Amino acid sequence: MAAASTSAVRAELAGALDASRLAREAAERELHRSIAVRSRAAETLERTAERRGIEESERVRLRGEYAAADRVVAEQRAAVEKARQFERAAAIVADAFETEATSASPLAAALLALVGSRTKRARPRRAAA
């Protein structure tokens, strides 16, 4: 006998798909924001390149700001890729479950057991809260 119902697994998978989509969208927004910050830092740095009378310490500071903004963009790109991979994985698992849910497949049984074990662990926490 399965530890959880097929509908419970479907609900868990739907929740995972929604959460992964929201995480990806948030990561993409942060990436776009960080690209804009880096662009502003680059424009400021470029405006000072030909300007006379600017101290070298100011140029060093502006280069540092650009480098920091560029690092943030790289980190955000990695976060977006990770979120996309998780979203794809959640979709693959959900699709596989839907395909296998009506059979006696090991995948469907494993997902049913997983959701059942998570449900059992979550109930005592909710009661304590």
| Residue 9, token pair as written in the block | 């697994």
Instruction: State the pLDDT at residue 92.
Output: 87
Instruction: State the pLDDT at residue 12.
Output: 84
Whole-prediction pTM: 0.71
Q: What's 3-53 look like in SS3?
A: CCCHHHHHHHHHHHHHHHHHHHHHHHHHHHHHHHHHHHHHHHHHHHHCCCC
End-to-end CA distance of the chain: 30
Instruction: State the pLDDT at residue 123.
Output: 53
Q: What average pLDDT values come out for the chain (129 residues) when binned by 10 residues?
A: 66 90 96 98 89 86 96 98 94 81 71 66 51
Instruction: State the pLDDT at residue 1.
Output: 39
84 CB-near residues (< 8 Å, 6+ apart): 24
Instruction: State the pLDDT at residue 129.
Output: 43
Asked if 11 and 64 count as a contact pair (C-beta separation under 8 A), the reply is: no
Residue ranges per structural domain of the chain: 6-128
Instruction: State the pLDDT at residue 21.
Output: 94
Instruction: State the pLDDT at residue 42.
Output: 96
